[in-house]
Homo-oligomer: A and B are copies of this chain.
Amino acid sequence: MKTQLAALVALCSLTLLAHVQAAEPPIALAIHGGAGPLPKAQMTPDKRKLYEADLNKALQAGYAVLKSGGRSLDAVEASVKVLEDSPLFNAGKGSVFTYEGAHELDAAIMDGKTLAAGSVAGVRHIKNPVSLARAVMEKSPHVMLAGAGAEEFALQQGFSLVSQDYFYTQEKWDLLQEVKAEARKTSHKGTVGAVALDKAGNLAAATSTGGMTNKRWNRVGDSPIIGAGTYANNQAVAVSATGHGEFFIRSVVGHDIFALMAYGKQSLQQAANEVVMNKLVKIGGEGGVVSVDKDGNIATPFNSEGMYHGWVDKAGKVQVKIYQGE
């Protein structure tokens, strides 16, 4: 009898909880740390713990903003800053080296409510490029600034510049030597990013990267290209991409997922899969996306061996994953 009563109370609590949750507007967050993880064979349990710890930290930083009723823009910036500050990922600290042995960083952010956007390409002395992208969006009449000009703007906005040494990691230096010796194919796929839906129903996306190892000629990838690596529109979806940027630019990945949903009446899962697992694969574009729709659904397809990624879904469940099939 006592057991039955306990079961009844538990059932009522669950029903009540579900009811309360249904009444609350959904929030959701997804992040990635790039579609070029360590090959599965090299990923020891100890290393995996380090990656998972920083991915969880990034999720917590963004989710805390959403949970307290904050803006999705603040959430994606908070998550991306954690990943930029981690030496493990190719963005901010730990960015890869260019052909000349330097660091050139790209980043973008977009507000799905207003379609306001900001982006920077080829900055060399900015600790958190995502925050400079946000300043471009909010404090300049422009959307995209490049190179030395973007840093001049940063100084005017009170940003401190850091030396190139700040971005140094031994691992990425060794990677450059390997790529130059052609001992290893260039990794195209290091990037970090976040997408979020807040309680007010606003979507946002942000992406940040050191680009590709051994890149030359001030190459710009897809991360700072609004519509390609970064896109948000409250009408449907927020997307942050990671992969071989050239293919992602040509495929206008973020806006294509949006358009398949908004005009093609596809679901988030259908649209994200169509672009990542079909259209990109057809032209040889390796990588993936994290995406969240206006109802808080999450899709994180990737056609590479792995993608550092994680999410907090609208039920509050936290997941961190790396390889296909996990």
Contacts and interface: CB of A to CB of B under 8 A. Distances in A.
A226 B259 CA distance: 16
Interface string A110-121: 100001110001
A152 interface: yes
Give the size range of A's interface with the partner. Answer: 35 or more
A149 B218 CA distance: 5
Interface string A223-250: 0011110010000000000000110011
Nearest to A115: B250
B122 A146 contact: yes
A219 interface: yes
Interface string A142-159: 111111111011000000
A264 interface: yes
Contacts of A220: 121, 143-146
A218 B115 contact: no
Contacts of A263: 259-260, 263-264
A148 to B, nearest CB: 7
A180 to B, nearest CB: 15
Given A225-B225, A259-B259, A218 B249 contact: no
A145 B218 contact: yes
Contacts of A150: 217-218
Given A143-B220, A145-B220, A227-B255, 9 more contacts: A110-B250, A121-B121, A122-B147, A142-B215, A150-B217, A225-B225, A226-B249, A227-B252, A264-B264
